[in-house]
Structure 1
């Protein structure tokens, strides 16, 4: 029978990927760089595959390394969940989390579901507001953690996910060829709106904002009804939407990043617990939402919603 994988080696492996170097990973896992290198040699011997190759002064994952990474994260997460389930000193208290409503709709079901399993005595207090308002609440100490659209010009946050920003229209209604382009977007300080308008301006294409809303649900409704075009991250695509490309006359958009803001002074154990869950869950989000997957996510959210205390949803981007 084959020997099991060493979770300590897997944690070091993931740390190298997350930090981008053996040196930084050594600091994270409290080992010397030589010990980290030795662990990776042993892990490569264990799986019988090369996991890293030299890339200039650094290292990058091989195709086999990419394959192992997904398994490593899952094994570590399950190991942590198992330990937490038998921990008599499990975490307690209240954790105040802020997120825009579109992130709540797409990401929070899995985050909430996994966190509830491992930390059932922690009460989650969820606030849904635009990123700019969440940043202000963080500055006033009213939130512990906030998922926001990363915008270094406006606020500081740690990037936890990067993905394409897409032009979207209804898949069931023909897009009119006439100008200007009808847009459904967030309010004026919405980063995605600014990126969309800047791209159209640079391309010399006329547009008209027909729908403005803080609610991603309202914007999506305008798109699905065939009344407007909007922009969404790849993972936020909904059934009934289609992605528009340069062949359709729409300029390319820069990728968007999701950032994590943390309140200074938050309990280290609580901080580590929630950030680990958020990072792992965002890492597992698939590029697009199929109808069945969306239904499953919402059912998962419903199972855990009974233990949440939440303020009324204040939609926004």
Structure 2
């Protein structure tokens, strides 16, 4: 007789794989850690294979786990699509979400994926820009939700998390040792002035290597080890790394990630989006 994979266990397995651990996965799924662990054990028993390598300090997938992950994602996507098509006819419309370029990853793709599963008839338009632009967009009533990176938080906003800025550079790079220190920042980046001021206070000479409107240009320059940049801890991209400078560069200030939400006719939709955003950013 054919055996069936349990979708609930598969959902826990995918969450652990995507978040890197049982603790974070339990937060995403709104389950206890023991419940997630039990579902993982049930899934491993059903396939008769170890799916997770628990020998290290962090959870890693075994080769069997890597193979199952691809199937699990497709099965869950198909399940969510079917449930959404068959049951959710109440919520239709458009929703505009504004997010600064530098905090789109890693949270926003997960937020959009889960929101689409819960509200498949709501079309989400993602606008990525600088905090100043997004706040102007929100003030004009052209966005339902925006996320911002700020020193403080304006009236009506909600601080989701406060994280330090960190210096980033090319993996194994040496640009951070050069003097004057070469910087790569966008013209409207709110981290720019603070980073320059911190260098001035520390007596570290600097010059602008890149002065651009394009995040891609900054990423290319930094990953090529031609300059350094600063980001909120936990949001660094795949082609750069946090610089372990040992005090050669000044410590930077902390930044808030804030959420601003506009009331919507359908409170269930608004609460759903806001809840997912809170959940994923507070895991950082």
Establish whether residue 190 from structure 1 lines up as the match of residue 189 from structure 2: yes
Q: In 2, distance between residues paired with 1:201 and 1:100?
A: 27
Matches within 5 A, 1:145-164: 145-152=145-152, 157-164=157-164
Q: How far did 1:75 drift? A: 2.9
Q: Shift of residue 235 of structure 1?
A: 1.8
Whether 1:118 and 2:118 are equivalent positions in the alignment is yes
1:127 is paired with a residue whose SS is strand
Residue 180 (structure 1) shift: 1.2
1:242 lines up with 2:241 in the alignment? yes
Residues matched between the structures, number: 214
| Alpha-carbon shift at residue 268 of structure 1 (Å) | 2.1
Q: How far apart, CA to CA, are the structure 2 residues paired with 1:158 and 1:70?
A: 24
* Aligned equivalents of 1:155, 1:170: Cα separation in 2: 38
Whole-angstrom CA distance in 1 between matches of 2:199 and 2:28: 40
> How far is the alpha carbon of 1:210 from its aligned partner?
1.5
Structure 1 257/266 Cα, relative in aligned 2: closer, same or farther at 3 Å? Answer: farther
Q: Distance in 2 between matches of 1:178 and 1:263?
A: 46
Q: Distance in 2 between matches of 1:169 and 1:206?
A: 17
Alignment of 1:59-78 (within 5 A): 71=26, 74-75=29-30
Higher relative contact order (CA 8 A, sep 6+): 1
Preserved CA contact (<8 Å) 1:150 1:257: yes
Matched, 1:100 2:113: no
CA drift of 1:174 comes to 2.6
- 2:181 corresponds to: 181
> Which segments of 5 or more consecutive residues in structure 1 lack a partner in the other structure?
1-66, 286-317
Residue in structure 1 matched with residue 8 of structure 2 by the alignment: none
Would the aligned equivalents of 2:263 and 2:270 in 1 still touch at CA under 8 Å?
A: no
Give the CA RMSD over aligned residues: 2.9
CA contact (8 A) 1:138 1:144 kept: yes
Partner of 2:279: 280
Give the SS at the match of 2:169. Answer: strand
Q: Could you say which residue in structure 2 is the equivalent of 1:228? A: 227
1:207 aligns with 2:206: yes
Partners of 2:97 and 2:176 lie apart in 1 by 41
How far 1:275 moved relative to its partner?
0.4
| CA distance in 2 between partners of 1:250 and 1:280 (Å) | 33
Distance 1:180 1:112 in 2: 42
Aligned to 1:298: none
| TM-score under structure 1 length normalisation | 0.59
| Helix, strand or coil at the partner of 2:234 | helix
Deviation per residue, 1:160-183 (Å, 9 max, x gap): 122231111112433364421100
